[in-house]
Amino acid sequence: MEVPPTSNSADVFHILNARRGLPMEEKVPQEAVAVESAWSWGNLFAGMRDLSGLLSRSLRALRLERSLFREVADDPKANGQALLIFILFGIASGLFDAFNDSLPGDPILKFVLDVLGTLLVWSLIILLATVAGRVLKGKGTFSRAFRAVGFAHVPEAITWLQIIPVAGSLFNVVGTVMLLVATWLALQESLRISKWRALLIPLVALVIVLLAIEVINLVASGAALTVETILAQLGLLPG
């Protein structure tokens, strides 16, 4: 509601009286607006188009700069950049599997499944990490974690050098360790959690998954028992 300039109480009365009986304007939480705009197509494409910014930030991620993960976690425009990183890694994995004759299946299908699988699996991992972080008194959100973990993915590119003879296994180990350290830093900064609690996130996430599986089993068992009881009462079960 726009309020015109007023000079006395009579002006205020006329403004309020004009709105008498009108429905109240629904207020949209600022956080919800921020989340919606962060995942809008315009914002995503704007981030993807900023290739110079993406390259600069990726180099800082390779150096494991803690400030980089805090920066991208605080920047909604980095959603597109993080998404592009996941897509590029999915494409790289898809190309590797598509031309790997030891893996059965159609090359195109393997490629598509790898790209989609990368996005889905990492989204689920980040969601679990966010929930676990909340359990550990963190204050981050999925979007913040998505951006930070996306850039934490960059050091994994070092593992691509494992195809080099002799030194390949060393690059694989170094890249994997750097990925783990970068993810640890990213979770600290995005979820606003201490370094020690960040180490507990995988354990808490595992407990959450096990509890969810147990709840699903209990619900499924209860539903099966209820159906069996109903069928028995109707005389539809064999004696």
Residue 228 is which amino acid?
A: E
> What's the confidence (pLDDT) of residue 83?
96
3-state secondary structure of 61: helix
Per-residue CA distances from 78 to 33, 75, 118, 179, 239 (Å)? 17, 6, 19, 19, 64
Positive or negative, the CA dihedral 160, 163, 164, 165 is positive
- The residue written with tokens 């180990």 in the block is 173
**35, HSE (Cβ side, Cα atoms, 13 Å):** 12
**What pTM was computed for the model?**
0.76
The answer to whether the beta carbons of residues 49 and 55 sit under 8 Å apart is: no
Dihedral of CA atoms 9, 14, 20, 22 in degrees, nearest 10, equals -110
Maximum separation of any 2 CA atoms in the chain, in Å? 88
The residues, ordered by sequence, that sit 6+ positions from 111 with a Cβ below 8 Å of its Cβ are 91, 94, 95, 97, 98
Closest CA to 208 of 132, 139, 153: 132
Question: What tokens does 39 get?
Answer: 């995942």
The answer to whether the beta carbons of residues 142 and 49 sit under 8 Å apart is: no
**Distance between CA atoms of 188 and 138, rounded to whole angstroms?**
9
Instruction: Write down the number of H helices and E strands in the chain.
Output: 10, 0
**pLDDT tens digit at each of 239 positions of the chain:** 555 555 556 655 566 666 666 665 555 444 544 555 888 999 999 999 999 999 999 999 999 999 999 999 999 999 999 999 999 999 988 888 888 777 777 888 888 888 899 999 999 999 999 999 999 999 989 999 999 999 999 999 999 888 888 888 899 999 999 999 999 999 999 999 999 999 999 999 999 889 888 888 877 776 665 656 665 665 555 55
> What's the confidence (pLDDT) of residue 32?
47
> What's the confidence (pLDDT) of residue 93?
86
**Distance between CA atoms of 203 and 111, rounded to whole angstroms?**
32
